[in-house]
Amino acid sequence: MSSQKHIDAGPGFGPRRKALIRVLTMVFVALLVAMLLLGTVLVLLQLAGLLIGSTDFIIGVSKTLGPLTYWVAAAFGTFTLILAMAHGWKSAD
């Protein structure tokens, strides 16, 4: 509810910009959750590989989940910037 008040309180935010901010916020949250889940799974599987002493398992997990995790993290960082700009943030702030 507080985020809705923040959106409504923005100076000069018309209905299109409010809708854009809502959509960007949903994408931001989805990417945040995906990044955290992928990172957690990646680390836990690597820890399991360490505990069982299988370097092949650790390398396989890294090769399988690593690129996807990094791409999701990169998309998350990009959407963070886009969302900040939609809220009126400027690089000089």
User: Whole-number mean pLDDT of the chain?
Assistant: 87
Q: Is residue 42 part of a domain?
A: yes
Please check whether residue 1 lies inside any domain of the structure: no
pLDDT at 7 over 70: no
What would the pLDDT profile of 37-57 be if each residue is shown by its tens digit?
A: 999 999 999 999 999 999 999
In total, how many domains does the chain have? 1
* Separation of alpha carbons 44 and 47, rounded Å: 5
Mean per-residue pLDDT for 22-32? 93
Q: Which domain holds residue 28?
A: 21-86
**Tokens representing residue 78 in the block:** 């990009």
For tokens 């002493």, the residue is 53
Q: What are phi and psi of 36, to 5 degrees?
A: -65, -40
Find the mean pLDDT for residues 83-87: 87
Residue 88 above 90 pLDDT?
no
Dihedral, 81, 67, 39, 32 alpha carbons, nearest 10: 30
Residue with tokens 């998350």: 76
Strand, coil or helix: 5: helix
Q: Please say if the pLDDT value at position 6 is more than 60.
A: no
Whether 78 maps to a domain, the answer reads yes
Residues 16-20, mean pLDDT to the nearest whole number: 88
